Amino acid sequence: MIKRAIYPGSFDPVTKGHLDIIHRASKLTEELIVAVLQNSSKSNIWFSVEERINLLKHSISELDVENCKIKVIAFKGLLVDLIEREDVDVLIRGLRAVSDYEYEVQLDLTNKQLTKKEFETIFLNSSRKYLYLSSSIVRDVALHKGELKYFVTDYVKKELMKKVDEMNGKK
Ligand code: PNS
């Protein structure tokens, strides 16, 4: 059993694919830190970090988690600094298609270069159901008023539709 693992990401917004990884990771570790990147270099972020944390907390509360303490936090700066600070043993990342692999290896090797802290990276393959899913695809479906129930929880769906209305100046 792993003592403390971290699952970092942008989560803009959390999808059922992320939740599947969180649920599966919760069976491997005593404690799981879901870390939401605050200062993302991504240009098209829809939700503030507080909103993303709220969506995550709400969605995680609906998961059937048994013996794992899950906490959701925001982080700024380098992931390895957080890994050192929180004394994390394992970094969890989800892998969808082969296209994710190259980026993930780059991320992992960079992280390992940046710290002396020893930690392992574990890649969890996406479940077949969520292989195609990404937050950006979800935002696009929301923008065009497509059906979101396969991709996100009801709560996230509601918040996504509110955000689209806000962006369209409806409020
Ligand atoms: O869900 P994402 O957007 O693919 O997550 C990427 C994330 C947040 C894990 C990555 O961008 C990250 O760790 N950013 C923090 C900055 C950092 O440590 N950069 C150096 C490694 S590339």
pLDDT tens digit sequence for 135-166 = 999 999 999 999 999 999 999 999 999 999 99
One-letter identity of residue 11: F
C-alpha span between 147 and 129 (Å, rounded): 16
Higher pLDDT among residues 24 and 99, named by residue = 24
- At residue 127 the predicted structure's pLDDT band, cuts being 50, 70 and 90, is very high
**94 ligand 1 Cβ < 6 A:** no
pLDDT at 171: 61
For the chain, give the number of residues: 171
Average pLDDT over residues 96-101: 86
* Model confidence pLDDT, tens digit, residues 36-95: 999 877 889 999 999 999 999 999 999 999 999 999 999 999 999 999 999 999 999 999
79 Cβ inside 6 Å of ligand 1: yes
Question: CA torsion sign, 79 to 133 to 14 to 140?
Answer: positive
Atom of ligand 1 nearest to the CA of 78: 18
- What number is the average pLDDT over the span 105-129? 96
Contact status, residue 52 vs residue 13, Cβ threshold 8 Å: yes
Give me ligand 1 centre to Cα 77, in Å. Answer: 9
> What is the CA(9)–ligand 1 centre distance, in A?
6
User: Would you call 24 a catalytic residue per the annotation?
Assistant: no
DSSP string, 131-151: TT--HHHHHHHHHTT---TTT
Q: Is 127 touching ligand 1 by the criterion CB < 6 Å? A: no
| pLDDT value at residue 40 | 73
The pLDDT of residue 81 is 98
In the prediction, which pLDDT does 162 show?
97
Tokens of 78: 């380098």
- The least confident of 22-26, 41-45, 109-113, 135-139 is 41-45
To the question of pTM greater than 0.75 for the whole model, the response is yes
Please choose, from the candidates 21, 7, 11, the residue with its C-alpha nearest in 3D space to the C-alpha of residue 135.
11
